[in-house]
Amino acid sequence: MSTVAPESLPYRPCVAVMLLSRAGQVLVGKRIDQTLEGWQMPQGGIDDGESPRDAVFRELEEEIGTRNAEILREHPDWLKYDLPPRLVGLSLRGKYRGQTQKWFAMRFLGEDREINLATEHAEFSHWRWASIEELPRLIVPFKRDTYAKVIATFRDLAKPA
């Protein structure tokens, strides 16, 4: 059990993306480093001096091997989630209590064969397209409130292009 007090740690600034297929489904990946069954949408840290819009394209390329997408909408708020107490001090290199995320809805413009998880810093072992209704069941419990807000904001975009 971690002895780090969560309130003493900052939130990690991050971007995240609801990547939509032309059919209106959402890309989810199964994390390599999780012991529990859990899928998530692509996300990652914002580098120093990097804008959230630049970061979201970089993260797509780092996590799924392509940046062949267009931004449809940006969530108006930064959404936060806290790590469960058992993960504070362990996850996110032990430096953060959770993440504050700028979410983007994006449309994938390419073909499925362009998606390549074998990137230099691979994070996903598998990927698939999921319906927006499936997302709350697929995600780890501590991110469900954040996903509910993202789904509510971007639901109208999850339809065939």
Residue 112: CATH number of its domain: 3.90.79.10
Residues shown for the chain: 161
Separation CA 19–CA 158 (nearest Å): 9
Residue 92 has pLDDT above 80, yes or no: no
Q: Which amino acid is at 52?
A: P
2: in domain: no
Residue 72 has pLDDT above 60, yes or no: yes
Counting the structural domains of the chain, the total is: 1
161: in domain: no
88: domain range? 10-156
Torsion angle, alpha carbons of 5, 97, 150, 16, to 10:
180
67: in domain: yes
Global pTM reads: 0.91
Torsion angle, alpha carbons of 64, 67, 72, 74, to 10:
80
Sign of torsion over alpha carbons 32, 109, 159, 105: positive
4: in domain: no
Separation CA 129–CA 39 (nearest Å): 11
Looking at residue 1, what is its pLDDT? 46
49: in domain: yes
